[in-house]
Amino acid sequence: MGFSVEGGDFGALVEVFGKEVWMNWRRGLTMVLAFSAALLSSTVWGQGATTGSLSGKVVDEKGQPIPGASVTVTSNYLQGERGTATDVNGDFVIPYLPPASDYRVKAEAEGFNKVIQSNITVNLGSTTTMQITLAPGGTEIQVTAQAPAIALKEGKVSTQITQEELNTIPVGRSYQDALLLAPQVMPSGAGGNPAVAGGNSTSNQWVVNGLNTTDPVTGTFGSNLNFNFVREMEIDTGGLSAEYSGTSGGLFNVLTKSGTNEFHGEIFGYYTNDSMSANAHSTDLAVTKPTPFHRYDYGFDVGGPILKDRFWFFVGYNPVINSVHYEGEQIATNVNPYRPDVGSQLSVPYKYDDYRRTWTWATKFNYRVNDKHNLELAIFADPARMWDSEGPYTPALYNESRMNRRYQGGYNTVLRWYATWTPKIFMETTLGYNDKSLQVQPWDTSDLAYRTVESFDYNTGLYLSRGSQSMFSMNDRTTRQAQIKVTWLVGKHEIKFGGEGEWARSITFQDYSGGQFVEVLYNLRSANPASPNIHDYYYQWYVWNQNPRTDERTRYYAGFIQDSWSVTDFFNIKAGVRYEKNEMVPGAGQTLSLDSWSPRIHMAWDWAKNGKSKFYAFFGQYYDRPPGAFTSALDPGHGSYVARYSHYGTKHDYTDLSGNLADLVEPGIAPQYTNEFIVGNSYELKPDLTFDVRYTYRDVGRILEDVGYILPNGGYGYILMNPGTSYWPSQEQSWKAALGSTYAKPPRPIRHYEGLTLTLNRRFANR
């Protein structure tokens, strides 16, 4: 299916549509969704901005607006020249500018001097505001002063980190290592997934080049990049307007490098090993030397023009090789009370190397179709191969049982189209696709034929066969995404509306090597207490999966409308509403659909009336997107069978099935959300030096959780519900009858966050 549209017709369509939105936002939002669906019928969703904007006012020496003044901008990071004209109020907006600090702004009008202001900074995801004063005459005036560092119209609480800062600040090689530099971002204990403003490690949104890279199943980060490929990062910790997806954590927006009109590149290399690492000192004064390891990290990147001011490219490649050596022994004590050698010890030596290799690469192409249309294609990937061990945790007679091969990572593709249909109507469209995989297989594929056998005649357990200690698995996760945003300037109003969708699928096959996991107890036949023959043991348990394959899908749809209204030159209100719909579709069982409406409002006041002050306040609701893991909980038939045999395997005692029931879903269930209130004040103490004090309050209004309960047969079941805020009377009656006076309703969860943040920001003049 395709479409074609001419600029004039599209402008008329949006103008009529915008009037309808202004009259009735609910009806207008429905039209937005319908229009977006028609336009984006082929693919997927993007989230964070990949550009910034420049807005301002052109006035004369008396402060009166100059309508029709020409404003143009140039930069080494901008293809060609971008320009517009001021409206009747002297205002102008130039959107979709790549972040840079070398912008050159030229303003001119008939009968006035031409003014050229240099070294203007435009940050990722932000709007730089400036005022240009023209004096009567016919000469050219060069101005080098920076625009004010405070953006009155910007409501987000964000921290920008440039590539130059990443190169100079001592952090790790991954972009995730730099997130903790932002206020309100704290370690969560979950690897590279931090906690933000009271949220948890799965409450964040991860965006690279406008593509949502958040893992659709776990809610954690889904792609790796080293900072050599990063142009700029924006860390948003609050105050997100209606155009942004809900998150009770942070929004991490990363932009990779692009080419320019000049060729630039670098070759880099890093090496480290255990001799370069400090010893670990524990609280009991023990000193632990680092495990022997080697790490090689090297690569290159290069970018430049294919056609100057028309077609640019960037490409980067970064292999990373890690090897870690493990060597030692484990002691297992025989605890079989029926053997004369009970208490004897078995020494189990181990010696192996973990070997991991990752190939991270990124490429980007920027093409200027004409002065009004730009295209950007970015592809980045992080495939990895790992040969490592799951131990030494439980002693094993065969090292192969705890060694495996992992294949993980994937690739991401995103295409963005920036369009200027008229001086008042702008549009950005995003299409994207990502594919991630995780495969865990035995070190040697021939070991798939061996059943895993574990003896509990030893205090730590003892693996007796070459079968893998962990289940082998094959998982593939794909996501298609699409987004459209339209900006319409109407007088003092900047109206923005749009829609987006995401369609994710996760297919998994997970099973035991040999098809079964066998547990044995009481070896009474063999002189060898660690006999690998399962029929030497009086008791034998056989465990196997009911259905090892799952096929889960999630769907996400959203639409928004917001208005940024400049009530005066010194007072701005931005208000909007966002509609979101999450659908979880298991391979079988019940489909769950959750709808929500999120109001967001922000106000800002330049009380000094000089562009150097801002008192601001924000209120908003964020609805968390439920992780895809909930979808698998709704899918029945994926339990485990356990069969017990006694008398050395000759007598079948029982066969149980557990974990095969899908979660029950409480009627009237609703999505989880968080309320946020922010109030603060910023002031530019001197050029490029800003002080900000901010109070943040967050409160969880409702949570979505699966709550466990005891089944009549003694097993466990789960119910997906909103604990503490809604109940299921019929189900509660059965629980109360079973538990009597010991039954208590699930309490209402409480999570309050309050934070007072003081920041002193120094803006560097050059990047």
Given a cut of 60, whether residue 26 has pLDDT beyond it is no
The superfamily (CATH) of domain 41-143 is Carboxypeptidase-like, regulatory domain (2.60.40.1120)
Coil, strand, or helix at residue 274? Answer: helix
Most confident residue range from 459-473, 514-528, 717-731: 514-528
Given a cut of 50, whether residue 641 has pLDDT beyond it is yes
Question: Distance between the two ends of the chain, CA-based, in angstroms?
Answer: 44
Q: Amino acid identity, residue 101?
A: S
In this prediction, residue 727 carries a pLDDT of 65
Q: Any idea which fold 157-256 has?
A: Ferric Hydroxamate Uptake Protein; Chain A, domain 1 (2.170.130)
Coil, strand, or helix at residue 732? Answer: helix
More confident residue, 281 or 386: 386
14, 20, 25, 31: CA torsion to nearest 10: -60
Ordered DSSP codes for 321-334: EEEEEEEEEEEEEB
Q: Distance between CA 68 and CA 90 in Å, rounded?
A: 7
**In the predicted model, what is the mean pLDDT of residues 729-740?**
70
The pLDDT mean for the chain works out to 86
Q: How many CB atoms lie within 10 A of CB 344?
A: 13
Residue 332 pLDDT class (50, 70, 90 cuts):
very high
Q: How far is C-alpha 331 from the chain's CA centre?
A: 43
Residue 696 pLDDT class (50, 70, 90 cuts):
very high
Look up the pTM and report it.
0.86
Model confidence over 38-80: pLDDT tens digits?
333 333 333 567 899 999 899 999 999 999 999 999 999 999 9
Q: Amino acid identity, residue 477?
A: R
Model confidence over 372-396: pLDDT tens digits?
999 999 999 999 999 887 655 788 8
344 vs 86, 293, 331, 536, 728, CA distance in Å?
A: 89, 35, 10, 18, 55
Percentage, residues of the chain above pLDDT 70: 90
β-pairing, 640-646 vs 651-658, is antiparallel
131 vs 122, 494, 612, 765, CA distance in Å?
A: 15, 18, 12, 19
Q: Distance between CA 215 and CA 212 in Å, rounded?
A: 9
Residue 11 pLDDT class (50, 70, 90 cuts):
very low
Given a cut of 90, whether residue 399 has pLDDT beyond it is no
Q: How far is C-alpha 467 from the chain's CA centre?
A: 36
Ranking 12-21, 226-235, 430-439 by mean pLDDT, the lowest is: 12-21
In this prediction, residue 41 carries a pLDDT of 34
Q: Amino acid identity, residue 668?
A: G
More confident residue, 155 or 419: 419
96 vs 125, 234, 261, CA distance in Å?
A: 10, 16, 18
Q: How many CB atoms lie within 10 A of CB 69?
A: 24
In this prediction, residue 291 carries a pLDDT of 83
Structure-token match 């109001």, residue found: 599
- Spell out the domain ranges in the chain: 41-143, 157-256
Q: Distance between CA 21 and CA 33 in Å, rounded?
A: 12
In this prediction, residue 265 carries a pLDDT of 95
Kindly tell me the number of DSSP H helices and DSSP E strands found in the chain.
Answer: 5, 43
Given a cut of 90, whether residue 261 has pLDDT beyond it is yes
